[in-house]
Chains A and B, each alone.
Chain A
Amino acid sequence: MSAFLSVRDLRKTFPVSRGLFGKPELLHAVAGVSFDVPAGTTFGLVGESGSGKTTIAKMVMAADEPTSGGIVIDGSDIATHGKAERFAFRRLLQPVLQDPYSALSPRMRVDRIIDEPLRIHRTYSSKAARAERVAYLLDAVGLPASAAQRYPNEMSGGQRQRVAIARALALEPRLLVLDEPVSALDVSIQAQILNLLRDLQDRLGLTFLLISHDLAVIGFMSTQVGVLYLGRFVEVGSKETILSDARHPYTLALIASAVPEADAAPVTGEIPSPLSPPSGCVFHTRCPVATDRCRQEVPSLRQLKPNHLVACHFAETTRKETRNA
């Protein structure tokens, strides 16, 4: 199957100045990331703050320009887009962000919020046709027709996220970038939104790029999972592989934090500054099984078995060792 979204060796470097006259240092927010997302599937990016997951999402949405590397969506390289193509591209891809409150204008009624992309892109010739589309979208995301007459501040967090999803769907996009879509919501509402997203994916054949720090959410939604640490993948594989046969000590630690009875050794310390990433394996400062080799030699992202990549020198033995550590 050919990929709907294809990311190749993506890099993003920010210059960070030290003081007024200091020489700017380079912060490698994303340091060479590649992945493919076949149409109709979900790729889950999981990582902690500073792992580069939101920077990747921004570049995929063309809200930020890559320093190098390529992003191909539906067969077209987004770096080569002219103004007209960029405009059309917006219909193909829509974001759903963490905080629906800041994503929705407080001065606009819900029907206008959902109608706005339709007006901008002139997809419907008549007002009546647009109104019909708005009503259809409200129904599709599980909101009553009366929601159209309300303002975002009159709604709960879950309802607002439904409005944001309805607006994202207005132009019939094929790819949704979901950046922490449920982290701001309560547990009982999270489940409703996650189910809704899966329903919509099945019904409309949508492709998802999902970003979350919550491995349980990633596991529920994703087909394929990439674990990010300091701007690079430490492990990539199918959901089943990552959840039941993970090999990187960092993935194992993330799993341990999501399963109460897990017995992996705890990870010490905090994520290092991306301004001065550690030598060798970037994770060695926190790894329970690191050796001298890890401190010197950068592990490549190597294939352990089909559709399972791990960047660890000791991927073959980590599962046993982290337990004994």
Chain B
Amino acid sequence: MSDLLRVENLTTWLATESGIITAVDDVSFSVRPGRALALVGESGSGKSMTCSSIMRLLPASGHIAGGRVLFEGEDLLAKSPAEMEAIRGRKIGMIVQDPMTSLNPLFDVEDQVGEVFRYHLGDRSRRARRPKVLDVLSRVQIPAAEKRLGSYPHEFSGGMRQRVAIALNIACAPKLLIADEPTTALDVTVQQQILALLRDLQRETGMAIILVTHDLHTVQRFCDEVAIMYAGRIVEQGPVAEIFARPAHPYTEGLLRALPQLGGQEDRLPLIPGQPPSLASLPAGCRFAPRCRRATDLCRTEYPDWMATAGETRRSACWYADEVLG
């Protein structure tokens, strides 16, 4: 199947107090219809900035310095702002961590969900919109949707609010849904419900999903492919099952080990020493080298080029990927 979205060498600059930093550095990946890709990384790794760049929703201090974002074969970076408006919410949906920030506190649910139909599909009559609004609310499994049409966001629980935000974003049957930490602010049991809902919707509609998360359990449970980001770059990508079973980058390896395992009897967690570098003062060579137990002089001077590992589907940016694979 051909790619729905192909990001090629995306590079985004961000103006900060400590100068211009490269928040997204030469990032490439692709997503196919019906598949879920996880963008994983710690804070500051550039995963959210990558999504904002795709959506062209960067803060004023951000600037896309290079690359292409091909969506259905067309470069989103070449679109006019008006063309992007027509794509956002219709062909590409986006949900964020805190639905309170994406929902308008002054409008009831019917108005907010109905607005999507008015804006993108030109449904002018409120009465004609109502069945569509009810339909999409029932698809995100909001119980007794007819009774909740007049409710305002603050009257919903966190989980229900996230369902409303999902409803807004799937109302026009988008081809791609970008979910930026959609469950981080929710309780554990509710997280599972929201992820199950997203998977059901994906099965139903065949949309592609990019899931941004720092939670490796969620990746393992929910996604097909994973791209692991470190200090603005993708360090490893490929099928989730293969990478979790046999990581090919020392950072991935370290992350998987550092995760406390339920029922594990270890006294201490094997850990990655140190902390991620500041994007304002990156080390020469591999950015992970200062924390890597395998680092050599080569790593400290030269950034590893992309190398295919373990077949065509996987890539790791490590000089010693084959050794890490073991």
Contact = CB atoms under 8 A, between A and B. Distances in A.
Contact of B262 (A49, A156, A189, A255): A255
B298 interface: no
A142 B22 CA distance: 30
Nearest to A157: B43
A48 B255 contact: no
Contact of A219 (B43, B192, B216, B262): B262
B29 to A, nearest CB: 21
Interface in B185-200: 187-193, 196
Interface of B: 42-43, 157, 159-160, 187-193, 196, 214, 216-217, 220-221, 254-255, 258-264, 266-273, 275-276
Interface stretch (A115-123, A192-200, A292-300): A192-200
A159 B274 CA distance: 10
Chain A CB within 10 Å — which of B187, B189, B193, B255 has the most? B189
A270 B196 CA distance: 15
Nearest to A194: B269
Interface in A211-236: 213-217, 219-220
Nearest to B41: A186
A306 B105 CA distance: 52
Contact of A48 (B187, B254, B259, B273): B187
A188 B255 contact: yes
Given A158-B275, A188-B272, A260-B221, A220 B264 contact: yes
Contacts, number: 100
Given A198-B268, A267-B189, A258 B217 contact: yes
Contacts of A215: 188, 262
A191 interface: yes
Interface residues of A, number: 40
Interface in A151-208: 156-159, 186-192, 194-195, 198-199
Interface of A: 48-49, 156-159, 186-192, 194-195, 198-199, 213-217, 219-220, 243-244, 253-260, 266-268, 270-271, 286
B275 A216 contact: no
B262 A243 contact: yes
Nearest to A215: B262
A257 B192 contact: yes
Contact of B187 (A156, A220, A271): A271
B191 A187 contact: no
A270 B194 CA distance: 11
B159 A192 contact: no
B242 to A, nearest CB: 15
Contact of A266 (B192, B220, B270): B192
Given A254-B189, A267-B189, A270-B157, 9 more contacts: A48-B188, A192-B273, A199-B268, A215-B262, A216-B262, A217-B260, A257-B191, A258-B262, A270-B189
A191 B189 CA distance: 24
Contact of B261 (A186, A216, A271): A216
Residue of B259, B260, B261, B275 contacting most chain A CB atoms (<10 Å): B260
B188 A254 contact: yes
A260 B221 CA distance: 6
A240 B179 CA distance: 36
A191 B272 contact: yes
Contact of A270 (B187, B255, B266, B275): B187
A171 B259 CA distance: 32
A100 B268 CA distance: 23
A260 B38 CA distance: 15
A253 B188 CA distance: 9
26 contacts: A48-B188, A157-B43, A186-B276, A187-B216, A187-B258, A187-B259, A188-B254, A188-B275, A191-B258, A191-B260, A191-B269, A192-B271, A192-B273, A194-B269, A213-B187, A215-B262, A216-B260, A217-B260, A219-B260, A219-B262, A243-B262, A255-B262, A266-B189, A267-B189, A268-B193, A270-B190
Contact of B193 (A187, A244, A266): A266
